[in-house]
Amino acid sequence: MRIISGIFKGKSINYLKNATTRPLKDSVKENIFNILKHSNLIDVKIENSNILDLYSGVGSFGLESISRGAKKVTFVEENKNTADILKKNLIKLSISNKAIMINDKVENIIGKNKKEKFNIFFLDPPFIKKDFIQVLNLIKKNKVYQTKHIIIIHREKRTEDYLDELISTVLSKKYGRSKIIFGVFK
């Protein structure tokens, strides 16, 4: 697993090698960033963004975002072993000053700091989880999003998630087993 572009281009990052984790593939990650950079449908850019990376795993998306110029990334990962690897990645890249690492359940942290607003939300919950929709509801209810924002959700391509009442889908793409949904709050 590596950083694709930006100031850390080519640097490897640590990740878990077991049956319960599902790392974001480099090819899918690259497509997400190409869409963010080049799509006329999305008016939020990575540069100087404040990003909330939920179910962040070892931090692949957020680390790539920092490499590409994000101002700050808040990582939230529930699993202690995975969070420890993320911390090692932050230290390895010397970017702890641009990151906040929270080892807790995602639903426990939304709304605790109502002053901070994010413009990019990346959600990569385990494919079997459906409770991320509650998390989206909490984000909306607590208004922790900026007027110009984008929500990016990584799901299994066959998953049927009913998001229409909550977000307007801007774009949806399938890559192998993955489905990436880009949307904004209604």
Query: Mean pLDDT throughout 76-94?
Result: 95
48: left (phi over 0), alpha (psi -120 to 50) or beta: left
Q: What is the pLDDT of residues 113-136, one digit of tens each?
A: 668 899 999 999 987 777 899 999
- Does the pLDDT value for residue 96 go beyond 70? yes
* Residue 162, pLDDT score: 85
Record the pTM. Answer: 0.93
- Does the pLDDT value for residue 182 go beyond 90? yes
CB 159 within 8 A of CB 139: no
What percent of the chain has pLDDT above 90?
Answer: 77
- Per-residue tokens: 176: 């192998």
* Residue 21, pLDDT score: 60
CB 56 within 8 A of CB 84: no
* Residue 158, pLDDT score: 87
Give the domains, in start order, of the chain with CATH numbers.
26-185 (3.40.50.150)
Q: What is the pLDDT of residues 10-66, one digit of tens each?
A: 999 998 876 556 678 888 999 999 999 999 999 999 999 999 999 999 999 999 999
* Residue 20, pLDDT score: 56
Rounded distance between C-alpha atoms, residue 97 and residue 13, angstroms: 18
Q: What rounded mean pLDDT belongs to the chain?
A: 92
* Residue 30, pLDDT score: 94
pLDDT class for 179, splitting at 50, 70, 90?
Answer: very high
Query: Mean pLDDT throughout 168-182?
Result: 94
